[in-house]
Amino acid sequence: MDVVLEKRQVVRAYEFYAPVYDFIFDWIFAPGRAAAIKHLALTAADNVLEVGIGTGLNLPLYPPTCRLTGIDLSQEMLDKAVERVQNLLMPNVTLKVMDATAMDFADNEFDKAVATYTISAVPDPVAVLREMRRVVKPGGTLVILNHFRSERRVTGHLEDFVAPLCTRLGWKSNLAMPPLLKAVGLTPDLVSRVNMFNGWRLVKCANRK
């Protein structure tokens, strides 16, 4: 059964999460976040986009002089990220409230883009990935860190079963990776499992246009 995640559910959920998001999600998901930023292989010249930057938990992982643009649908989450930018003294960080399915950026504007724990928390993951491809230069790097539907039969069926509850909490438990990547024309150069119980996958792709 395909359960639809609506934009209003996402906004409402993350308005609720904003005050406690760091406490709940920081240490549990930290290994995956560190690996995702590492696989961007950033250089001083890179112009980077982070989709779904949230409260800015990834910010300390970037070089201080990094040219970074972070977008998120939730103003409440971004307010926390603004505080982090100020505390970390990162002058080249720009934060914007933006719908990732219709980004206000030019084609080929960024060298690299990353989305950590975001793709299953948007109503239209195909549209988001297509937008990421559009705004990243040909040959640029896209890194996606996410929970995807298990390829194990029993676990996959369990994720399908709890999907209606998870959508109420603001994310989709049974998003399948292969059809998603195929729909947007992405071929992974790297897929690795990260975090507790290896339950999340880190996907690195070259933006072959």
Per-residue DSSP letters for 46-62? -EEEEET-TT-TTGGGS
Tell me what pLDDT residue 66 has: 85
Enumerate residues 6+ apart whose C-beta is below 8 A from 203. 143, 144, 145, 146, 177, 181, 188, 190, 191
Q: What is the pTM of this model?
A: 0.85
In the block, which residue shows the tokens 């395909």?
2
CA–CA dist 82, 45 (Å, integer)? 23
Tell me what pLDDT residue 77 has: 87
Residue 89 lies in a domain: yes
pLDDT tens-place values along the chain, 209 residues long: 454 445 554 455 545 454 555 566 667 889 999 999 999 999 989 999 999 999 999 999 999 888 999 999 888 889 999 999 999 999 999 999 999 999 999 999 999 999 999 998 888 999 999 999 999 999 999 999 999 987 777 765 676 656 565 566 556 777 899 999 999 999 999 999 999 878 899 999 999 98
Tell me what pLDDT residue 3 has: 46
Residue 2 lies in a domain: no
Enumerate residues 6+ apart whose C-beta is below 8 A from 187. 181, 205, 208
Number of domains in the chain: 1
Q: 3-class SS at 192?
A: strand
The CATH number of the domain holding residue 140 is: 3.40.50.150
Residue 1 lies in a domain: no
User: Domain range holding 30?
Assistant: 7-206
CA–CA dist 166, 157 (Å, integer)? 14
Tell me what pLDDT residue 137 has: 98
Tell me what pLDDT residue 153 has: 79
